[in-house]
């Protein structure tokens, strides 16, 4: 959306121009010359696939990463992204366990003393999916140059699934819980060491991320010392307690399944003596275990952040740390999308009042959440159902009247509850907590209509990403205006700690969120304006009034995460519920299967279905059994959600490993 021609002459004075250009950009890191890639059209340099830690293999597998500040070759080919960390649903040729790499996008011809501010991105993907290679920041960097405030963009890979989020007593004893958070902080340490060589200023790092990436970033801020790594943050649809925070002893079954699935280590499953064996096998064996653990899990998102005690990343629940004022007091932007809950609410459910109540009770009662009794949860569930009445016009997608899109009349109610518990309440709690202590904060609500989405998704989770990255497909005028404004706000904030630097596109002043002035900017291309942060105040106040019942870091599985306790118990609460049935989150192979087999609409079915049998997952004819999804919707609805820009075409695989 930004015209590539003409950028050269607009390069800001802040960027020293050296005149002569080498064919490939180079940066000297210690004794190593990194050979990057020239992105001619954008007048940018790209350096990718740079190891920031020792390969986490063999004895270093399941260990905290070891920062790698220098490479042991004279030249390093940094022209491509590195491999994805081990995960499902990605071609095996894209994967490597040796995946701890970092990427740098910068304007061309930046001298090593240019001291540009840095935007540092952490991708989302539910802790078991995603890669830095899915994010091309060329448009952000181009815009930063055009508006006269050039920045450098950095992103990186962190370990996923059991390799990034080990569970259980043994992992706790060995102090290797939350390894992915260690990867993230190590990548930031690499930035501190090395970004100067690329022309960046290590004292001007702004961390940003979306979904799981925002959650991880928010958890990092719970350590006051995080201000040594970043001076500002942007959270897109994720706060510290948006996700699920368990202690090491919860969901050990997923870890046990992983070990049981690793050929050669099976026998050690359920023991506290697994690590030596796990470090002795090859990547194929580990990947087998990972796939099996995902397959066997009763949760679609088994790999959660873990309470890790004193000196850890997450010593206590976020709500407890908030109460003590323990967090880095750095400026931030935090926002959500209008309909955060829809993507996590299967359109196939028959969302009667009873079902929603049962779901809440099943998910927030002991043994999952231990700190409240089942009767307290029941009381809370009843209160929630009163606060969210059975009127489609009040549900999510919001502002769509009483239209139910052919789904269960309760769908919008369920989606509103889901979005508010996980995202809206947490965003509001965090920004109010921080602003009340004087932290400079800015809030947003992204409401740009998404006509490419199926109507029942509304302005769903992830919708804002292409606007931030300037990669909206077939943008309308409204989309372009919004995307440009959002990049301007983001870059302005990264360069001046204020989204309103007066440079770039004309856009409304985004007022600071303070205890006296609780406002959000409504990010909408046709109506960018300030709005009071008071939507569903009564409901969200209620959620935030009982942090030990509803998330805010309490061990729980998320509202609709699990309807039962495993596949051998699908009759919980007298309902014929499938154990795993949410998830449209990039689990495409699975979701096609759920849509047909795991619908509580089908109350007549009493069989326990092997929903995990891969050979049965992909048949779209099965989806069509669902009466609420029409033939023409199938592809769009079930496979079109994951709109993160992917740019894998330019990668070469043969050169690494
Ligand atoms: C660079 O090479 C020199 C000479 O081999 C060596 O002494 C020095 O430690 C190396 N520096 C780094 C950062 O590896
Ligand atoms: C930055 O480096 C360039 C060349 O390396 C030099 O010409 C320029 O004076 C330096 N600028 C500053 C502010 O040090
Ligand atoms: C990012 O996108 C631009 C424009 O499409 C392309 O020229 C460039 O090669 C991409 N960068 C990477 C690292 O793939
Ligand atoms: C923060 O840094 C200080 C000084 O470097 C150190 O003493 C303290 O232990 C650190 N705190 C945490 C929680 O890491
Ligand atoms: C696992 O245990 C069984 C029975 O104790 C034994 O026969 C088998 O060799 C063991 N396998 C491994 C890989 O240790
Ligand atoms: C991994 O180890 C297994 C068992 O030792 C072996 O059969 C397999 O060939 C190895 N795979 C690779 C890629 O080395
Ligand atoms: C997934 O789990 C099911 C049930 O436990 C099993 O039958 C199936 O073989 C597993 N598939 C894979 C790929 O592990
Ligand atoms: C939606 O339906 C409710 C209950 O029938 C009704 O009170 C309300 O006016 C309707 N709202 C809209 C926007 O149609
Ligand atoms: C713009 O948004 C505000 C706040 O949501 C709303 O009150 C107003 O009616 C909207 N204006 C238009 C023209 O849609
Ligand atoms: C939804 O559930 C209710 C209550 O169990 C039932 O009466 C109704 O028939 C169900 N609807 C469908 C479409 O199955
Ligand atoms: C409901 O379950 C029955 C019995 O297992 C099955 O025959 C039927 O196809 C299912 N219907 C749907 C819509 O999934």
Q: Quick one: how far is CA 420 from the chain centroid?
A: 17
- Clarify whether residues 352 and 239 are in a common domain: no
For β-strands 441-446 and 44-51, DSSP reports them as unpaired
Q: Which residue puts its alpha carbon closest to atom 4 of ligand 3?
A: 138
Read off the pLDDT of each residue in 25-49 and give the average, rounded to a whole number: 94
Report angle CA 443, 447, 449 to the nearest 5 degrees: 160
**Measured between alpha carbons, how far is 463 from 557 in angstroms, rounded to an integer?**
24
pLDDT of 454 reads 86
Strand order across the 26-29 sheet: 26-29, 32-35, 75-77
**pLDDT higher than threshold 60 for residue 641:** no
Residue 615 CA to ligand 7 center (angstroms) comes to 10
Q: Which ligand is nearest to the CA of 297?
A: 7
Lowest mean pLDDT across 16-30, 265-279, 367-381, 389-403? 16-30
Q: Which residue has the higher pLDDT, 345 or 416?
A: 416
311 with 415, same domain: the answer is no
CA of 164 to the centre of ligand 6 (A): 22
Q: Does residue 557 lie in a domain region?
A: yes
546 vs 37, higher pLDDT:
37
Same domain, 203 and 338: no
Residue 241 has pLDDT above 60, yes or no: yes
Q: How far is the CA of 601 from the centre of ligand 10 (A)?
A: 7
**Ligand 5 contact, 264 CB (< 6 A):** yes
Is there a single domain that holds both residue 525 and residue 426? yes
Number of structural domains found in the chain: 2
Catalytic (active site) residue 454: no
User: Is 266 part of any domain?
Assistant: no
Q: For atom 5 of ligand 1, which residue has the closest CA?
A: 31
Q: Which of 211, 237, 425, 592 is catalytic?
A: 211
Among 46, 77, 647, residue to substitute to test ligand 3 (most atoms within 8 Å of Cβ):
647
Q: Is the CB of 220 under 6 A from ligand 4?
A: no
Distance (angstroms) between ligand 6 centre and the Cα of 287 equals: 11
Question: What mean pLDDT comes out for the span 239-243?
Answer: 88
Ligand 4 pocket member 225 (CB < 6 A): yes
For residue 614, is it within any domain? yes
What CATH number did the domain enclosing 101 receive?
A: 3.40.50.1820
| Ligand 5 pocket member 267 (CB < 6 A) | yes
Which of 267-271, 289-293, 588-592 shows the lowest mean pLDDT across its residues?
588-592
**Does 462 lie in the same domain as 318?**
no
Q: Which residue has the higher pLDDT, 154 or 571?
A: 154
Confidence (pLDDT) at 127: 93
Residues 308 and 388 grouped into a single domain: no
Structural domain boundaries enclosing 337: 332-639
Using DSSP's 3-state secondary structure scheme, residue 84 falls into strand
Residues 136, 224: contact at Cβ < 8 Å? no
Q: How far is the CA of 238 from the centre of ligand 10 (A)?
A: 34
pLDDT range class, residue 282, cuts 50, 70, 90 = very high
Query: Over 60: is that where the pLDDT of 609 sits?
Result: no
Are residues 346 and 425 both part of a single domain? yes
Statement to judge: residues 99 and 127 lie in one domain: yes
Q: Cα angle vertex 581, ends 580, 587, to 5°?
A: 95
**Residues 391 and 317 grouped into a single domain:** no
Residue 586: CB partners within 8 Å, gap ≥ 6?
A: 89, 125, 126, 129, 641, 642
**Considering the entire predicted model, what is its pTM?**
0.84
Q: Is residue 293 part of a domain?
A: no
Q: Is 601 in the pocket of ligand 10 (CB under 6 A)?
A: yes
Answer yes or no: is 453 within a domain: yes
User: Once rounded to an integer, what is the mean pLDDT over residues 492-518?
Assistant: 98
For a substitution probing ligand 3, which of 41, 42, 103 has the most ligand atoms within 8 Å of its CB?
42
Q: What is the pLDDT of residues 129-139, one digit of tens each?
A: 999 999 999 99
- Beta-bridged to residue 513, according to DSSP, are 441
Residue 257 lies in a domain: no
Confidence tier at 427 by pLDDT (50, 70, 90): very high
477, pLDDT greater than 80:
yes
Ligand showing the shortest atom-to-Cα distance for residue 604:
11
Task: Check whether residue 564 and residue 535 sit in a common domain.
Answer: yes
Residues 125 and 235 in one domain: yes
In a domain, 413, yes or no: yes
Residue 44 lies in a domain: yes
Residues 308 and 350 in one domain: no
Average pLDDT, the chain: 81
The whole-number pLDDT of residue 460 equals 94
């Amino acid at each position: 959306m930004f015209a590539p021609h003409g950028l050269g002459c607009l390069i800001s004075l802040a960027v020293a121009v050296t005149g002569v250009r080498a064919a490939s950009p180079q940066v000297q890191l210690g004794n190593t010359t990194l050979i990057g890639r020239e992105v001619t059209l954008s007048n940018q340099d790209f350096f990718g696939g740079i190891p920031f830690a020792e390969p986490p293999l063999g004895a270093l597998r399941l260990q905290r990463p070891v920062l790698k500040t220098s490479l042991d070759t004279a030249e390093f080919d940094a022209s491509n992204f590195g491999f994805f960390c081990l995960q499902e649903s990605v071609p095996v040729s894209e994967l490597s366990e040796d995946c701890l790499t970092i990427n740098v996008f910068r304007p061309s011809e930046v001298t090593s003393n240019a001291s540009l501010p840095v935007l540092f991105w952490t991708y989302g993907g539910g802790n078991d999916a995603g890669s830095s290679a899915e994010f091309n920041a060329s448009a952000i960097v181009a815009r930063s140059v055009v508006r006269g405030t050039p920045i450098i963009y950095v992103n990186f890979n962190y370990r996923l699934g059991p390799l990034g989020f080990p569970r259980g007593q043994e992992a706790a004893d060995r102090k290797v819980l939350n390894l992915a958070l260690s990867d993230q902080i190590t990548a930031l340490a690499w930035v501190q060491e090395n970004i100067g060589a690329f022309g960046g200023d290590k004292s001007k790092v702004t961390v940003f991320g979306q979904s799981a990436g925002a959650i991880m970033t928010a958890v990092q801020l719970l350590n006051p010392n995080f201000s040594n790594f970043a001076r500002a943050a942007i959270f897109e649809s994720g706060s510290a307690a948006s996700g699920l925070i368990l202690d090491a002893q919860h969901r050990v079954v997923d870890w046990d399944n992983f070990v049981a699935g690793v050929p050669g280590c099976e026998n050690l499953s359920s023991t506290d003596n697994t690590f030596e064996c796990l470090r002795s096998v090859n990547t194929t064996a580990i990947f087998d275990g990972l796939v099996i653990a995902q397959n066997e899990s009763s949760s679609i998102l088994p790999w959660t952040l873990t309470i890790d005690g004193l000196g850890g990343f997450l010593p206590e629940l976020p709500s407890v740390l908030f109460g003590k004022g323990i967090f880095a007091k750095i400026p931030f932007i935090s926002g959500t999308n209008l309909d955060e809950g829809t993507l996590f609410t299967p359109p196939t459910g028959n969302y009667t009042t009873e079902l929603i109540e049962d779901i809440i009770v099943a998910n927030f009662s002991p043994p999952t959440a231990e700190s409240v009794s089942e009767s307290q949860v029941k009381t809370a569930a009843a209160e929630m159902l009163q606060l969210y009445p059975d009127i489609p016009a009040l549900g999510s997608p919001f502002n769509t009247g009483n239209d139910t899109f052919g789904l269960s009349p309760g769908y919008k109610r369920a989606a509103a509850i889901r979005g508010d518990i996980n995202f809206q309440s947490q965003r509001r709690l965090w920004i109010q907590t921080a602003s009340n202590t004087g932290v400079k904060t800015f809030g947003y609500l992204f409401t740009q209509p998404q006509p490419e989405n199926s109507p029942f998704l509304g302005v769903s989770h992830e919708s804002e990403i292409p606007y931030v990255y300037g990669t909206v497909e077939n943008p309308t005028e409204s989309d372009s205006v919004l995307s440009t404004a959002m990049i301007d706000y983001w870059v302005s904030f990264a360069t001046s700690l204020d989204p309103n630097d007066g440079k770039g596109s004309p856009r409304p002043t985004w007022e600071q969120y303070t205890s006296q002035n609780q406002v959000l900017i409504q990010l909408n291309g046709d109506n960018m304006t300030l709005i009071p942060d008071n939507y569903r105040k009564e409901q969200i106040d209620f959620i935030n009034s009982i942090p030990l019942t509803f998330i805010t870091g309490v061990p729980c599985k998320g509202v609709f995460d699990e309807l039962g306790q495993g596949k051998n118990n699908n009759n919980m609460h007298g309902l014929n519920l499938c154990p795993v049935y949410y998830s449209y989150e990039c689990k495409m192979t699975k979701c096609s299967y759920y849509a047909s087999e795991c619908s509580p609409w089908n109350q007549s079915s009493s069989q326990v279905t092997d929903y995990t049998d891969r050979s049965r997952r992909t048949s779209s004819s099965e989806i069509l059994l669902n009466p609420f999804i029409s033939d023409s919707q199938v592809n769009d609805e079930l496979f079109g959600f994951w709109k993160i820009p992917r740019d894998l075409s330019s990668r070469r695989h043969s050169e690494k490993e």
